[in-house]
Amino acid sequence: MDVSIVVNGKQVTRDIEPRQLLVHFIRETPGLTGTHWGCDTSNCGACVVLMDGAPVKSCTILAAMCEGHEIRTVESLERDGRLDPVQQGFHERHALQCGFCTPGMLMTARALLDENPDPTDEEIRIAISGAICRCTGYKNIVSAVRWAAEHEAAAKHGDGLRQEV
């Protein structure tokens, strides 16, 4: 069947098997292997993308269900050579090691800050609790999301954001 999905602002149309998972659809789009998968049971969150702005586990959605919807992946975070504050925050606070969970964590964090620009540590922990990181013990991820929240607030007040990675 033909499916047409807007991925990172671009229309992607492909003839797919009806059973194809969104995560596989995305990963088969040239250049978009940033979205990972890590389990068979919707537990790990390595596959989180934004669907119309809300975080979803792309291993748990059929590509066919996304016809006409807008998907955002990790590759869309950097704009015009400027990193998203969550990306910068992860670098600043050493919130990644192997990097495998990172795209899912970044998208989850992006969705959280879009909804709640000033989350508490507890709110951050709850927001990322659908995702597993086997490497970092989460402490620095929480700290990175705080970093992003603070710098985003500062940027809104005109201080701008550094671009250093």
Residues binding ligand FES (CB under 6 A): 37-39, 42-47, 57, 59, 96-102, 133-136
Two structure tokens written together for 158: 């005109």
- Return the number of the residue (68 or 103) whose C-beta is nearest other proteins: 103
Residue type, 24: H
**Per-residue binder mask for other proteins (CB under 8 A), 76-115, x = binder:** -xx----x---xx-xxx-x-xxxxxxxx--x---------
- Class of residue 110 by CB neighbours under 10 A (exposed 0-12, middle 13-18, buried 19+): buried
Two structure tokens written together for 69: 């919807």
What's the residue count for the chain? 165
Give me the sign of the Cα torsion angle 100, 73, 84, 31: positive
Does residue 51 belong to the site contacting other proteins (CB under 8 A)? no
Two structure tokens written together for 59: 């291993």
Two structure tokens written together for 89: 């925050």
Whether 62 contacts 20, CB under 8 Å: yes
**Nearest distance, CB of residue 66 and other proteins, angstroms:** 18
Cα 10 from Cα 15, distance rounded (Å): 16
**Per-residue binder mask for other proteins (CB under 8 A), 142-161, x = binder:** x-------------------
Stretch that binds other proteins, among 33-41, 50-58, 110-118, 153-161 (CB under 8 A): 33-41
Stretch that binds other proteins, among 60-68, 112-120, 121-129, 146-154 (CB under 8 A): 121-129
Instruction: Return the one option of ligand FES, other proteins, none that residue 147 interacts with (CB less than 5 to 8 A, by type).
Output: none
**Nearest distance, CB of residue 41 and ligand FES, angstroms:** 7
Cα 5 from Cα 151, distance rounded (Å): 32
Q: Which residues bind other proteins (CB under 8 A)?
A: 17, 19-20, 27, 32-41, 43-44, 46, 73-75, 77-78, 83, 87-88, 90-92, 94, 96-103, 106, 121, 124-126, 128-142, 164-165
